Structure 1
Amino acid sequence: MDARGESSGDSLTRRLGTGVGWLMIGRLGLALSGLASSVVLARLMSPREFGMMAAITVVLFLGNALTEGGFVSPIIQRTKVDADLRNAVFSLSAIFGLVLGALAAAASPWVAGFFRIEGLEWPLLAAVVIIPIKAMAAPAIGLLMRDHRYREVTVAALLSNIFAYSIVAILLAALGFGIWALVIPSILAALTELVLVGRAAGPPRKFVWRITDRNFISDWRASVSSGLLNWGALSSPNVIVGRLFGADGLGLYSRAGSLFSMATQLFSTTVERVMFSGLSGVQDDGERVTLLFRRMLSVLLPIYVTIGVGLAIHAEPIIRILFGSQWLAAIPVTSVLFLAFSGRASYKISESLALSKGRFNGVAFRQLLYLVLVSVGLLVGSPHGLVGVASGFTAAIWIFYVVSVLQARRLVNLSWASIAFVHVRAVGIAGVGAFADIAVIWSFSRFGWLLSHGAGAMALIIVLAVTMSLLPDRIIGEDLVWARRRIFSLIKIRTGRPVVGLPVVSVD
Structure 2
Amino acid sequence: MTTIASRMLSGSAWLSGARIVTNILSFVSTIVLARLLAPADFGIVALGTTLMAILSSITEISLSQALIQHRNPTEEHFHTAWTLNGLRGIVLALIMCGAAWPMAIIYEDNRLIPVVCVMAIGVVISGLGNPRRIMFQKKLIFWQEFLLLVTNRVTMVVSTIWLAIVWDSYWALIVGVLLGQLVQTLVSYAILPFLPRPGLNHARELWSFSVWLTLGQAINTINWRFDQLLVGGLLGNATLGHYAVGSNLAQVPTRETTNPIRQTLFPALSQIADDPPRLRQGYQRAQALITLVALPMGIGVALVADTLVLAAMGSKWLPAVPIIQALSVIFAVQTIGSMVSSLGMARGHTKLLFVRDLQMFFIRLPIIVAGTLMFGLAGLIGARVISGLIGTFVNMLVVRQLVQLGVWEQLAVNIRSLVSAAAMAVVVLLFQRTAGLADGTLMQAVLDIAANAALGAVVYIAANLLLWRLAGRPNGPETELIGMAAKVIRRLVPGRA
Normalised to the residue count of structure 2, the TM-score between the two structures is: 0.92
Q: Which residues in structure 2 correspond to 1:80-95 (within 5 Å)? A: 80-95=72-87
Cα deviation, residue 392, structure 1: 0.9
- Structure 1 residues 135, 370: closer, same or farther in 2, change over 3 A? farther
Partner of 1:197: 188
Cα deviation, residue 69, structure 1: 5.3
Which of 376, 383, 391 is the matching residue for 1:400? 391
Cα deviation, residue 113, structure 1: 2.2
Cα deviation, residue 285, structure 1: 1.8
Give the whole-Å Cα distance in 2 for the aligned partners of 1:63 and 1:75.
23
- Structure 1 residues 498, 116: closer, same or farther in 2, change over 3 A? farther
Kindly provide the amino acid, as one letter, of the partner of residue 208 in structure 2: S
1:425 equivalent in alignment to 2:416: yes
What secondary structure, in the 3-state scheme, does the structure 2 residue paired with 1:384 have?
A: helix
What secondary structure, in the 3-state scheme, does the structure 1 residue paired with 2:474 have?
A: helix
Partner of 2:304: 314
What secondary structure, in the 3-state scheme, does the structure 1 residue paired with 2:274 have?
A: coil
Give the whole-Å Cα distance in 1 for the aligned partners of 2:110 and 2:39.
14
Cα deviation, residue 103, structure 1: 1.2
Kindly provide the amino acid, as one letter, of the partner of residue 197 in structure 1: S
Give the whole-Å Cα distance in 2 for the aligned partners of 1:199 and 1:17.
26
Partner of 2:230: 240
- Structure 1 residues 376, 212: closer, same or farther in 2, change over 3 A? closer
Structure 1 residue ranges without an equivalent (≥5)? 1-8
Partner of 1:353: 343
Partner of 2:11: 19
Cα deviation, residue 96, structure 1: 1.5
**8 Å contact from structure 2 (residues 327, 385) kept in 1:** yes
1:278 equivalent in alignment to 2:268: yes
Partner of 2:160: 169
1:55 equivalent in alignment to 2:51: no
Kindly provide the amino acid, as one letter, of the partner of residue 260 in structure 1: A
Cα deviation, residue 386, structure 1: 1.8
What secondary structure, in the 3-state scheme, does the structure 2 residue paired with 1:340 have?
A: helix
Partner of 1:287: 277
Q: Which residues in structure 2 correspond to 1:366-381 (within 5 Å)? A: 366-381=356-371
Give the whole-Å Cα distance in 2 for the aligned partners of 1:107 and 1:428.
48
What secondary structure, in the 3-state scheme, does the structure 2 residue paired with 1:178 have?
A: coil
Partner of 2:295: 305
Give the whole-Å Cα distance in 1 for the aligned partners of 2:170 and 2:415.
46
Cα deviation, residue 227, structure 1: 1.5
Partner of 1:125: 117
Kindly provide the amino acid, as one letter, of the partner of residue 34 in structure 1: S
Moved more, 294-303 or 324-333: 294-303
Cα deviation, residue 355, structure 1: 1.4
Task: State how many pairs are aligned.
Answer: 490
Partner of 2:451: 455
Which of 463, 480, 489 is the matching residue for 1:467? 463
Cα deviation, residue 476, structure 1: 5.4
Kindly provide the amino acid, as one letter, of the partner of residue 117 in structure 1: D
- Structure 1 residues 338, 436: closer, same or farther in 2, change over 3 A? same
**8 Å contact from structure 1 (residues 439, 456) kept in 2:** no
- Structure 1 residues 448, 417: closer, same or farther in 2, change over 3 A? same
Normalised to the residue count of structure 1, the TM-score between the two structures is: 0.90
What secondary structure, in the 3-state scheme, does the structure 2 residue paired with 1:202 have?
A: coil
What secondary structure, in the 3-state scheme, does the structure 1 residue paired with 2:414 have?
A: helix
Percent sequence identity is: 19
Partner of 1:6: none
Give the whole-Å Cα distance in 2 for the aligned partners of 1:164 and 1:448.
32
Give the whole-Å Cα distance in 2 for the aligned partners of 1:294 and 1:180.
45
Measured against aligned partners, the alpha-carbon deviations of 1:284-308 in whole angstroms (never above 9, x if no partner) come to: 1222211111111222223222222
What secondary structure, in the 3-state scheme, does the structure 1 residue paired with 2:273 have?
A: coil
Cα deviation, residue 252, structure 1: 0.7
Give the whole-Å Cα distance in 1 for the aligned partners of 2:494 and 2:6.
23
Cα deviation, residue 377, structure 1: 2.5
Partner of 1:113: 105
- Structure 1 residues 420, 231: closer, same or farther in 2, change over 3 A? closer
Cα deviation, residue 225, structure 1: 0.6
Cα deviation, residue 446, structure 1: 7.1
Moved more, 284-293 or 256-265: 256-265
Moved more, 299-308 or 182-191: 299-308
- Structure 1 residues 243, 317: closer, same or farther in 2, change over 3 A? same
**8 Å contact from structure 2 (residues 251, 328) kept in 1:** no
Give the whole-Å Cα distance in 1 for the aligned partners of 2:79 and 2:359.
34
Partner of 2:486: 489
Give the whole-Å Cα distance in 1 for the aligned partners of 2:320 and 2:335.
22
Give the whole-Å Cα distance in 2 for the aligned partners of 1:30 and 1:417.
36
Give the whole-Å Cα distance in 1 for the aligned partners of 2:494 and 2:193.
45
Measured against aligned partners, the alpha-carbon deviations of 1:62-114 in whole angstroms (never above 9, x if no partner) come to: 35435655222212222221222121111111112111111111111112222
- Structure 1 residues 33, 446: closer, same or farther in 2, change over 3 A? closer
Give the whole-Å Cα distance in 2 for the aligned partners of 1:479 and 1:446.
37
Partner of 2:68: 76
1:411 equivalent in alignment to 2:402: yes
Give the whole-Å Cα distance in 2 for the aligned partners of 1:57 and 1:446.
35
Moved more, 183-192 or 446-455: 446-455
**8 Å contact from structure 2 (residues 16, 256) kept in 1:** yes
Partner of 1:3: none
Cα deviation, residue 138, structure 1: 6.9
Kindly provide the amino acid, as one letter, of the partner of residue 104 in structure 2: A
Give the whole-Å Cα distance in 1 for the aligned partners of 2:247 and 2:262.
20
Partner of 1:152: 144
**8 Å contact from structure 2 (residues 266, 343) kept in 1:** yes
Moved more, 36-45 or 66-75: 66-75
Kindly provide the amino acid, as one letter, of the partner of residue 38 in structure 2: S
1:229 equivalent in alignment to 2:219: yes
Kindly provide the amino acid, as one letter, of the partner of residue 14 in structure 1: S
Kindly provide the amino acid, as one letter, of the partner of residue 479 in structure 2: W
**8 Å contact from structure 1 (residues 22, 151) kept in 2:** yes
